[in-house]
Amino acid sequence: MTKIKALIGVLGMDQHEVGAIAVSRLLRDAGMEVIYIGRFNTPAGIVKAGIEEAADVIGLSCHSWEYLHFMPELLDTLRAKGLETPIVVGGSVITPGDSKKLKAMGVAAVFGPSATHQEIIEGIQQVVTAA
């Protein structure tokens, strides 16, 4: 398998980027190439960065309610561009119910607050392999 390229960022007005930075380092240390785009991203900006960077997977760190609001637009924008880049979401506020909603929308994997490092790494490897 070639090196996985992961685009990691925070969506909307969520300012909590510590988790995104930690996961970026985790994935880098696991041998993935990581592009970290920071906070305050719109769905269109995330898709644009994903295209420009030829990302294999887009990872979003979520620590506020906004992921449920923005996810349909993000997924629709990806589809409109003809892309099938898998989206993975992780964060401290994701409930089991929200996890089900996100997967029903088309999110490839959801990592809640109890996800281990190994679960995150293997989960991303699996969604990229399946894409």
| Choices 3.40.50.280, 3.40.605.10, 1.10.3720.10, 1.10.287.3510: CATH for 5-130 | 3.40.50.280
pLDDT at residue 79, as a whole number: 93
What the block records as the tokens of 106 is 């088309």
pLDDT at residue 49, as a whole number: 97
Query: 34 — phi, psi (to 5°)?
Result: -125, 130
pLDDT at residue 1, as a whole number: 56
Pairing of strands 5-10, 57-61: parallel
CA dist 121 and 131 (Å) reads 16
Using 70 as the pLDDT threshold, list the residues of the chain that sit under it: 1
Q: pLDDT, tens digit, for every residue of 18-42? A: 889 999 999 999 999 999 998 999 9
CA dist 75 and 61 (Å) reads 16
pLDDT at residue 2, as a whole number: 81
CA nearest to 123, candidates 86, 91, 76: 86
